Chains A and B, each alone.
Chain A
Amino acid sequence: MGTEVFLPQSLPEFWDVHGSHPDAAIYHGGTDVLVRLKETGRTPPAYICLERIPELQAVQDCGETLFVGAGLTHAQILIEPNIATHWPLLPRAVAVLGSPPIRHTGTLGGNLGTASPAGDTLPPLYCLQAEVHVVSASGRRSLDIRDFILGPGHTALQPGELILGVQAPKAGDWGIPHFEKVGSRQAMTCSLASLAALIKIAPGGCIQDIRLAWGSLGPTVICSKAIHRKALGKPLNIQTLNSLADLIQEKISPIDDQRASIHYRRQLAQNLMLRLVSDY
């Protein structure tokens, strides 16, 4: 008869189903979960699909901050006006995530849940200083994204908890939202390295504030306080960016695999930063 698939229509219905099927495979778009199950040949005792839970679909303007539900697909993120206005960095990353059908299917919550070092929404969310809102049958809590993502495939989610969404300060006034990833081809590629950036330039042309976050170059997203300190007050030019190169090399721990060598990935970490001036 096959394994049962539940499509709860609300959070309370989810807690009910989850209570009686605690070992079910939970998925939203399934672009990570169904692929992983297929690759490992495993069949879970049941499936719970989150696609019909309206509570995960909220987008809310909260004044100083914006809240975006975990259930938004990448395609929805690309057309949501509040996100375009207040977090223009996020759609830049999502635009190069997967392919159109993957973007119609995969979700923000799924990207967070998978916690891949190559997850393309993660560096932007680190730059935005997002809080991850988590709910369970017994209540709601929120965590800094740096405390939510613990390592490759590893998050602070407890059994029975769901990601409700992410909340972060509006950042529409940061002059430069930037995202670039490098992979073995242009589309549908897992990044070898990526860089998300938010930069505020003071009227005199110097860096007033800067947030940089690298993906795929360590077990989680890499940020550097030292780089931040060193860049402040400097002009945004090649000399400044070159002077930061050693600092990023100390922070990253890229892997070596058939797709690229450590040496190449280290070079990318640096060169991605140099692109911040060629683009603007």
Chain B
Amino acid sequence: MHIEFTLNEQQMSLDVPADRPVVRVLREDKGLTSVKECCGLGECGGCTILVDGQSRLSCLMLAAQLQGRRIMTLEGLSTSEKLHPLQEAFVRHGAVQCGYCTPGMVLAACDLLQRNPHPDRQEIKAGLAGNICRCTGYQKIVDAVDAACTTDKDSGRGY
């Protein structure tokens, strides 16, 4: 099947099997290794991407559904050499240990901050509830998101 969509701000035109899970299109066909196929059942958040700006699980989408959509993976988050403020905050707060869940966590945080630019800690936890981390115990991830929106407030920079 022929599909056209926007991937990290670039126009894509692909021939893929219509029922190929989107996670495999992105990771295996397009080499975007931030997208992880972990549980494959929507439970872990490792394959989180943004579809038209909203967090979705790429293991629960078939390639045909990409047609006409605007897709963002972690690779598309910062266009320059500079890290996105959320990425910076994750580094600064030690929110990355093995790194496996990190892309999904950062995109889930992006989705949350778009809906709610100044979440409290409880809201941050609820916003990240679909993403599992087996290393950090979550505290540092919540710290990082918390700090990212505080910095954001101070610098007047919006998401």
Contact = CB atoms under 8 A, between A and B. Distances in A.
A100 interface: yes
B19 interface: yes
A39 B60 CA distance: 12
Contacts of B43: 188
B99 to A, nearest CB: 20
B142 to A, nearest CB: 13
A195 B63 CA distance: 38
Contacts of A38: 40-41
B94 interface: no
B145 interface: no
Given A104-B56, A188-B129, A5 B65 contact: yes
Nearest to B47: A101
Nearest to A79: B115
A33 to B, nearest CB: 9
A100 B65 contact: no
Given A1-B17, A35-B60, A188-B130, A100 B108 contact: yes
A113 B131 CA distance: 26
Interface string B76-99: 000000000000000000000000
A75 B54 contact: yes
Interface in B7-22: 17-20
Interface residues of A, number: 29
B54 A39 contact: no
Contacts of A188: 43, 129-130
Contacts of B60: 29-31, 34-35, 105
Contact of A3 (B18, B40, B51): B18
Interface in A171-216: 186-188
Given A99-B45, A102-B42, A187-B126, A30 B61 contact: yes
A49 B62 CA distance: 9
B108 A49 contact: no
A35 B17 contact: no
A2 interface: yes
Interface in A156-175: none
A98 B130 contact: yes
Given A39-B41, A98-B130, A104-B54, A5 B18 contact: yes
B62 A99 contact: no
B127 A105 contact: no
B19 A105 contact: no
Interface residues of B, number: 31
B72 interface: no
B112 interface: yes
A4 interface: yes
Nearest to A99: B130
B65 A99 contact: no
A51 B65 contact: yes
Contacts of B126: 187
A101 B65 contact: no
A15 interface: no
A7 B65 contact: yes
Interface in A98-116: 98-102, 104-105
A182 B17 CA distance: 41
A43 B112 CA distance: 34
A122 to B, nearest CB: 20
A36 to B, nearest CB: 10
A102 B131 CA distance: 11
B57 A101 contact: yes
Contacts of A101: 42, 45, 48, 54-57, 108, 111, 130
Given A101-B45, A101-B108, A49 B65 contact: yes
B54 A2 contact: no
B61 to A, nearest CB: 7
Interface in B117-159: 126-127, 129-131
21 contacts: A3-B17, A3-B18, A4-B19, A29-B60, A31-B42, A34-B60, A34-B62, A47-B62, A49-B65, A51-B65, A98-B130, A99-B45, A100-B127, A101-B48, A101-B54, A101-B130, A104-B54, A104-B55, A105-B57, A186-B129, A187-B126
